[in-house]
Structure 1
Amino acid sequence: MLFADEASIAGYAKDFVYQLNAGGILGGVGNDLFDPSGVTTRAAAAKVLSILLNY
């Protein structure tokens, strides 16, 4: 188990979340949480876009 709140990640998304995390594209929000129902920040979105554009 990678995230403490894994049970709250939708079943269809779990594999994608873990693949994106393993690739360094997507991370958690701290304290071993992913927070799938949380709101993203501009900084987090910019980081993901930057990583994807340079991938």
Structure 2
Amino acid sequence: MTIKKIETTEEHQAALARIELLWDAEPNTPEYEELETLSALVDAYEDANFPMI
């Protein structure tokens, strides 16, 4: 998966699915780094598109 800014609902859903696959990744591995990065991108997307009031 190419990691980039999440801009669409489809990209958001794909990132969530990938996070689920990576959930048990061991620290200090490429998979863990991908998990951390995708989590931050999903968080940013959700903050922008689903603000808490």
Q: TM-score, normalised by structure 2?
A: 0.34
Normalized per residue, the structure richer in helix is 2
